[in-house]
Amino acid sequence: MDLRRVVMGSRLLFGVAMLGLCPVAMTDACAQPVPETVAVTAQTALPAGPGAKAQNGKSADDWRFGATVYGWATSLSGSATARGNTANFNASIIDIVQKSDSVLAWDSYFEAAKGRFGAYLDVVWSRVQIPKSAASYANPIGGLSLSGQAGGAVTSTLTIIEGGALYEIARWQGSDGTLTALDGFAGLRYWNTSAQVALDVTGTLDVSDPRLGRLDRSRSFAIAGSGSLRWADPLVGLRARHWFTPSQEIMVRGDIGGFGIPGSAWFSWQLVGVYSYTWQLDGYAIAALAGYRALSTNVGFKGGAADASALNLLVHGPLLGVTVKF
């Protein structure tokens, strides 16, 4: 094992959470310190009554903002098709960090709210290489086999930008001082992705196979690249938030999207669960969060045998972050 690579990858995936700000709890429940909102999560409950203010001086009529940077330690499973060549993969975060030459990621979130309405923006970017040991060639061509020469049998670059509107549907105050809120949201998730399948040339190639015509080849090595694939998925979802105390919150969020609409995926879904703890400071708050996130898409692009591209992807793993609310 290359210890230096493991350390570098770990820093890139987890250390990014300390570079900036995290999801937001915008105000606080029952005029107490604001519980936190999460990147992948939502705004905090509003102060308890008309004109009520949290300790940070924010009321339900004030704008409330939060920003987040979080680290998402992702495992990948599914399949990628590039120019008719399909590779199946199932790579854990350990596989990716220990055996690939490239582990880069950026994850951030911003939320703004006023009254019961809010808006959010979530940005995910990553570039990872999946090693040959975690992949298999699904539709082999004579003379080609999956390769690890490029540092990874499959290289995936993924950009996801999600934005939408939030509305607090209902809230329930517990007799013990706890608070539960239910939010609905709708928005758009934009994807921009590319995949490269690396192949070893192991024998004489049958040039009559149309999938060979678009490969980038050297004498012993070939790359099937999908180019840049772009689509946008409309989505709808719900999230539930519960505060045990003014400082401790759990949040569960789920959405579905795509629906096979032209220009979107056949289907996509997401589930997130997060626990957060908030420290109230003079005029702002800082929250630490930990949780788990899973995001899936299934999309295909029609073309001839040499041009077909598709992605069936499940990205999942633990996340850590820090939030600043103001």
Note down pLDDT in tens along the chain; length 326 residues: 443 443 344 434 334 333 333 333 343 433 333 333 333 433 444 444 333 445 455 666 789 898 998 999 999 999 988 877 888 999 998 888 876 655 668 899 999 999 999 999 999 998 888 888 889 888 777 778 888 766 678 888 899 999 999 999 999 999 888 999 999 999 999 999 988 888 887 776 666 666 666 676 665 667 777 777 899 999 999 999 999 998 999 999 999 999 999 889 999 999 999 999 999 988 889 999 999 999 999 998 766 555 678 899 999 999 999 999 98
Whether the Cβ atoms of residue 272 and residue 292 lie closer than 8 Å to each other: yes
CA–CA gap between residue 110 and residue 160 (Å, rounded): 14
**Options 2.40.128, 3.90.1310, 2.60.40, 3.30.420; CATH of 3-325:** 2.40.128
Instruction: Indicate the domain borders of the chain.
Output: 3-325
For residue 231, the cross-strand partners are 191
CA–CA gap between residue 138 and residue 144 (Å, rounded): 12
Q: β-strands 75-82, 309-325: how paired?
A: antiparallel
Residue type, 115: G
CB atoms within 10 A of CB 62: 18
115 is written with which tokens? 């009254």
